[in-house]
Chains A and B, each alone.
Chain A
Amino acid sequence: MNVEALKDLLYKMADDQLVLGHRNSEWTGFGPLLEEDIAFSSMAQDKVGQSWQLYKILNELGENDPDTVAFMRNADQFHNCQFVELPNGEYDFSLIRHFLFDTAELLRFQFLSESSFEPLALLAKKIKGETKYHSMHANIWVKQLGSATEESVSRLQTSLNEALPYALGIFEESKFEDDLITSGIFKGEAVLKEAWMGEITKILNKSSLSLPDLTSIEPITGGRNGIHSEHLQPMLDEMSEVFKVDPTAEW
């Protein structure tokens, strides 16, 4: 097994879950309905919890402990896609991102539940319920707001159009793609993207939203290689403000 390839996969997944979980938690207290404050917080906890487990697996492969890895790295050392680091914006953007990302998340973990790398397969199985629920939540909301008022449909459509180039960046391939596929660790980003397109089309067809031609959209990539938007570093600085007062202290 190519450990470098494995670590690369684990890092990008862990960083995705941490960064988006953090973004989701920003909604607590500010949501459009109290019910959504609570829902976004649950998803934030699930995602940050999942990232913690992934960093623990990395720790067992020789990487630093999870707190240090999560709270002490700079933006250029993060492998999340740029999509997850974008600010929450209005609820329409947060919802569309939640829908597009969590559909991919559900499929990714479904694939990984058959991974040849045991710890990852085990984790994927354990979080099956969580990821299924995230997707259920997103689908219900997108169907609802995506076919309600003129304003809600137009807001969601605008956010969808803005989000798609970033969403396609989720599937940015790494140099280890072939290694991961041949060793049976992961089916690869291309397969995931195909499955994802099928799923989001299915849900969007139940709403008044239209999916632009994805082949004509240029994906925004770079995140997997440490290239990020201007939003990630300030987010990380905020997240680690207290931790960095004394990284060796027990908090």
Chain B
Amino acid sequence: MYGGGNTFEAMKATALVDEDPIKLAEFEARIERGEKIEPSDWMPQLYRKQLIRMIEQHAHSEIIGALPEGTWITRAPGFKRKLALMAKVQDEVGHAQLLYGAAETLGKSREDMIQDLINGKSKYSNIFNYPAFTWADSCFISWLVDAGAIVNQVANSKGSYGPYCRALERICAEESFHLKYGHHCVIHLATGTKKQREMMQAAVNRWWAPMMHFFGPSDKISVHSEILMKWKVKMASNDECRQQFLDMYVPKIWELGLTIPDDKLMKNEATGQWEYTEPDWDEFKRVINGDGPCNKERLAVRRKAEERGRWVREALLAPKAKYVTPLA
């Protein structure tokens, strides 16, 4: 699961004017025809760099995303929930592995990516820096954070890079149960006992602000975002994704008798757009830069896991093994 809010900020790459104009034209024509780009094709540096960054962030979000829900993996109530939560969190780890594989086709090794994650050099979806206080929080994540991620992933699966599309196709297929499972859990809590309802409402209250942050701030119009849209790297704006999410899920939340902690939230029937209180983007920036409630814990867990597992990886490593970039 993964949110928008990709930060497509300016990065050092060979300026487009320095790229081979004939190759660039062929590349753009291929995308224009709706054909996918495959790893051995020529591609502009900016395309490669932005994709590595995007797929890597997505992969990190899956692996870190396994932690907030994992908080409840040993405490899920009853057989059915216990098994489903295990399978769901397992899928998130599997998705990380798939996505690392896709990013690797662009030339960055998985170990390099994991090292950058642990050292705080690369980002992951901000929402996973918030804690899952109760079982109901894990239900909110399973349903609504996954729902948000699916909005984003479905858009990205129509992008131009072959290996990323293939990974997303697999991910979306596996995720079909996550959303239903999460909804099922929330329905049971919201229509259950008084205690269950209160638990669920409290979780909605806690998670609404991070959920609105999830899609990222409004995209700034920049040279990059225009060209990334043209190259089908970025498929939808952050605001478009947020609107789509609100449209699909706010009615489903309301029909369960749950309230959303935003007095201004309403659909403007004239414009067809949802109106809401502007999220606190200062908090968003603060958390993304490391100062959220769980940033430290999330990275510490990853680091501990890597350190504890080092002897295993050392034992497996054949002395003459060499790293090879995957084919597809």
**Interface locus among A25-33, A131-139, A167-175, A184-192:** A25-33
CB of B243 within 8 A of chain A?
Answer: no
CB of B320 within 8 A of chain A?
Answer: no
- Determine whether the beta carbon of A28 is less than 8 Å from that of B70: yes
- Determine whether the beta carbon of B309 is less than 8 Å from that of A251: no
- Determine whether the beta carbon of B308 is less than 8 Å from that of A90: yes
CB of A66 within 8 A of chain B?
Answer: yes
CB of B63 within 8 A of chain A?
Answer: yes
- Determine whether the beta carbon of A41 is less than 8 Å from that of B86: yes
User: A15 vs B97: C-alpha distance in the bound complex, in angstroms?
Assistant: 33
Contact residues, B82-106 vs A (CB, 8 A): 82-83, 86-87, 89-90, 93-94, 96-97
CB of A148 within 8 A of chain B?
Answer: yes
**Interface locus among B1-9, B142-150, B189-197, B219-227:** B189-197
User: A22 vs B72: C-alpha distance in the bound complex, in angstroms?
Assistant: 12
Nearest neighbor of B67 in chain A, beta-carbon distance: A29
Nearest neighbor of B304 in chain A, beta-carbon distance: A30
User: A71 vs B78: C-alpha distance in the bound complex, in angstroms?
Assistant: 7
Question: Given A71-B78, A250-B188, A28–B193 Cβ distance below 8 Å?
Answer: no
User: A90 vs B309: C-alpha distance in the bound complex, in angstroms?
Assistant: 9
- Determine whether the beta carbon of B86 is less than 8 Å from that of A241: no
User: A91 vs B316: C-alpha distance in the bound complex, in angstroms?
Assistant: 14
CB of A121 within 8 A of chain B?
Answer: no
User: A124 vs B315: C-alpha distance in the bound complex, in angstroms?
Assistant: 36
- Determine whether the beta carbon of B312 is less than 8 Å from that of A242: no
CB of A213 within 8 A of chain B?
Answer: no
Question: Given A71-B77, A149-B315, A243-B78, A38–B90 Cβ distance below 8 Å?
Answer: yes
Nearest neighbor of A49 in chain B, beta-carbon distance: B83
CB of B305 within 8 A of chain A?
Answer: yes
**8 Å CB contact of A242 from B77, B79, B86, B90:** B77
Nearest neighbor of A55 in chain B, beta-carbon distance: B79
Nearest neighbor of A147 in chain B, beta-carbon distance: B315
Question: Given A45-B87, A151-B311, A151-B315, A34–B74 Cβ distance below 8 Å?
Answer: no
- Determine whether the beta carbon of A45 is less than 8 Å from that of B315: no
Nearest neighbor of A238 in chain B, beta-carbon distance: B74
Q: Taking the nearest CB of chain A, how far is it from the CB of B230, in angstroms? A: 34
CB of B314 within 8 A of chain A?
Answer: yes
* A249 neighbours in B (Cβ, 8 Å): 192-193, 195-196
* B296 neighbours in A (Cβ, 8 Å): none
* B314 neighbours in A (Cβ, 8 Å): 149, 151-152
User: A155 vs B87: C-alpha distance in the bound complex, in angstroms?
Assistant: 30
What are the interface flags for A33-48 relative to B under an 8 Å C-beta threshold, 1 for contact and 0 otherwise? 1111110011011001
- Determine whether the beta carbon of B79 is less than 8 Å from that of A66: yes
- Determine whether the beta carbon of B315 is less than 8 Å from that of A70: no
* B73 neighbours in A (Cβ, 8 Å): 25-26, 28
User: A148 vs B312: C-alpha distance in the bound complex, in angstroms?
Assistant: 9
- Determine whether the beta carbon of B74 is less than 8 Å from that of A26: yes
* A220 neighbours in B (Cβ, 8 Å): none
* B252 neighbours in A (Cβ, 8 Å): none
User: A155 vs B308: C-alpha distance in the bound complex, in angstroms?
Assistant: 13
- Determine whether the beta carbon of B75 is less than 8 Å from that of A52: no
* A26 neighbours in B (Cβ, 8 Å): 73-74
- Determine whether the beta carbon of B81 is less than 8 Å from that of A251: yes
Q: Taking the nearest CB of chain A, how far is it from the CB of B134, in angstroms? A: 8
- Determine whether the beta carbon of B315 is less than 8 Å from that of A48: no
User: A41 vs B94: C-alpha distance in the bound complex, in angstroms?
Assistant: 11
* B233 neighbours in A (Cβ, 8 Å): none
- Determine whether the beta carbon of B89 is less than 8 Å from that of A34: no
* B316 neighbours in A (Cβ, 8 Å): 144-145, 148
Which of A28, A38, A44, A91 has the most chain B CB atoms inside 10 A of its CB?
A28
CB of A246 within 8 A of chain B?
Answer: yes
Q: Taking the nearest CB of chain B, how far is it from the CB of A143, in angstroms? A: 12
Question: 3 smallest A-B Cβ distances: which pairs?
Answer: A32-B309, A152-B315, A148-B315
Instruction: Name 21 A/B residue pairs within 8 A (Cβ), A-sorted.
Output: A25-B73, A25-B74, A26-B74, A29-B70, A36-B309, A37-B93, A41-B90, A45-B86, A48-B79, A49-B83, A145-B312, A151-B314, A240-B77, A242-B77, A245-B77, A245-B195, A246-B195, A249-B196, A250-B192, A251-B185, A251-B189
